[in-house]
């Protein structure tokens, strides 16, 4: 275990050390102490390493992640795991707005609540939120899966493309072109796998699925009021 104390090591040096790790590194376990809400911790990683941040973080933690497993033993500020490509990011506490934005792959697990715009413009990422999500979650989400064990706020899935949304609790309102859809066996299988990987204690049969009604793909005057 390699331990870096941010009370004595500057953020730039920390990220340089983590980004220098290669696929063949022997130093696979890292622990970061005293983050004190610092921004952009553990960004741009591209190696199969495990990083544990012992405390809460500021903006853009674990952004652009590839291969790495990043665990935040606290809460995360806006933009956690933004543009994530692969690997796993786990937030033990709450996540602020636009968690997992534009993510193209990998798994983001938020064990607390997520704020507004969780999963905005998803492009293949899987996001599992153990608590609730705020308004405009999955706005313009293109592909991937958003799983919410709690409740979802206003305008869920507004202007949605082909991402799948699974919510166990209530949905305050659906956004433009987002509708409830049938839970078929293939969706139960997808959800079963995601819940297991995220360590979520829930049965897939308890969820409802939401997706795109596909009326906003191309402009049509009859749908103008929905834009």
SS3 string, 42-92, reads: CCCCECCCEEEEECCECCCCCCCCECCEEEECCCECCCCCCCCCCCEEEEC
Kindly report, residue by residue over 76-120, the tens digit of the pLDDT.
999 999 999 999 999 999 999 999 999 999 999 999 999 999 999
- On the 0-12 / 13-18 / 19+ scale of CB atoms within 10 A, 218 is exposed
Strands 178-181 and 164-167: unpaired
pLDDT at 216: 75
pLDDT at 196: 98
Which residues are CB-neighbours of 211 under 8 A, at least 6 positions away?
A: 157, 160, 162, 163, 164, 165, 178, 179, 181
Kindly report, residue by residue over 19-70, the tens digit of the pLDDT.
999 877 778 999 999 999 999 999 999 999 999 999 999 999 999 999 999 9
Strands 107-110 and 88-91: parallel
Kindly report, residue by residue over 1-12, the tens digit of the pLDDT.
999 999 999 999
pLDDT at 89: 98
Q: Tokens 């500057």 — which residue?
A: 10
pLDDT at 24: 73
How distant, in Å, are the alpha carbons of 71, 125, 142, 217 from that of 209?
A: 28, 17, 15, 20
The structure tokens listed for 66 are 């590839």
Rounded to two decimals, the pTM is 0.94
Return the bridge partners of 88, or none: 69, 107
Helix, strand, coil % over all residues of the chain, rounded to 5: 15, 30, 60
Handedness of CA 219, 222, 224, 227 (dihedral sign): negative
Pair 86, 106: CB distance under 8 Å: yes
pLDDT at 60: 97
Q: Tokens 């049965």 — which residue?
A: 203
């Amino acid at each position: 275990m390699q331990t870096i104390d941010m009370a004595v090591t500057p953020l730039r040096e920390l990220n340089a050390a983590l980004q220098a790790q290669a696929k063949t590194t022997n130093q696979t376990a890292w622990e970061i102490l005293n983050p004190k809400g610092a921004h952009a911790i553990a960004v741009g990683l591209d190696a199969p390493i495990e990083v544990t941040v012992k405390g809460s973080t500021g903006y853009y933690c674990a952004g652009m992640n590839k291969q790495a497993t990043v665990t935040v033993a606290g809460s995360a500020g806006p933009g956690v795991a933004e543009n994530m490509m692969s690997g796993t990011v786990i937030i033990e506490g709450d996540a602020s707005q636009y968690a997992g934005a534009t993510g193209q792959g990998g798994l983001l697990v938020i064990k607390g609540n997520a704020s507004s715009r969780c999963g905005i413009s998803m492009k293949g990422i899987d996001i599992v939120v153990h608590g609730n999500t705020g308004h405009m979650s999955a706005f313009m989400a293109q592909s991937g899966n958003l799983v919410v064990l709690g409740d979802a706020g206003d305008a869920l899935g507004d202007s949605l493309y082909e991402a799948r949304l699974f919510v166990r609790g209530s949905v305050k309102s659906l956004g433009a072109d987002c509708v409830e859809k049938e839970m078929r066996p293939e969706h139960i299988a997808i959800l079963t796998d995601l819940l297991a990987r995220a360590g979520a204690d829930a049965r897939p049969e308890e969820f409802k699925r939401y997706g795109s009604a596909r009326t906003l793909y191309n402009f049509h005057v009859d749908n103008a009021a929905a834009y």
